[in-house]
Amino acid sequence: MKSRKVAIVGARSVGKSSMSVKYVEDQFVEDYYPTISAHYTKTLTFRGAPFELEIVDTAGQDEFSMVEESQLIGIHGYMLVYSVTSRQSFELIELIRDKILNAVGTEDPSGVPMVVVGNKCDLSMQRVVSTSEGAALARALHCPFVETSVKDNLRIAEAFEAVLAGIEGAADTPSKCVIV
């Protein structure tokens, strides 16, 4: 069985922990409790092969506090999560991605599998970041893009599968992959 480790990064309150819990335990956690760092494990079949996926749920980042480099050790891929209801969380994605590339010692993003995830797409009345803006950012960063709703269980598995596909060297060109 292959073991892969994925880190979920993004600003505070974008739904990183809820996404992890929904994917691993199939539960939706409505209340917000700030996370310092949590780890989840899920066994799954991907492309016909068994995988053990370890999910590192990081503390929320802002422009002053980024992911601890110690949390990046052994990470195979990253989910860059923002909330479609928060322009600030969206604007942090590129900075977080640059910090990750710096921490892993490369300026070439092609060797670091990442997926841009716009979460909370069920909150259409509070949306401030359009789907097209999210897709454009993902294209600029050469990453796949997925919009999700943890509450409605919408495309959560697809987001994790997209990062796993990047890790496993998917044949698709990531910059052209948009899932909405």
Name the class of domain 2-168.
Answer: alpha beta
Q: Which two tokens stand for residue 100?
A: 């990750």
Q: Which pLDDT score is estimated for 174?
A: 44
pLDDT tens readout for residues 13-33? 999 999 999 999 988 877 656
**Burial label, 138 (beta-carbon count in 10 A; 0-12, 13-18, 19+):** buried
- Is 81 within 8 Å of 20 (Cβ atoms)? no
pLDDT tens readout for residues 59-81? 666 554 556 666 667 899 999 99
Distance CA 110, CA 158 (A): 20
Q: Is the pLDDT of residue 147 over 80?
A: yes
> CA torsion angle for 151, 11, 169, 172 (degrees, to 10)?
70
Work out the mean pLDDT of the chain and round it to a whole number. 87
Q: Which pLDDT score is estimated for 83?
A: 98
Spatial neighbors of 99 by CB under 8 A, at least 6 apart, are 66, 67
Q: Is the pLDDT of residue 176 over 60?
A: no
Q: Which pLDDT score is estimated for 172?
A: 43
Q: Show the DSSP H helices in the chain as ranges.
A: 16-25, 87-91, 93-104, 131-140, 156-167
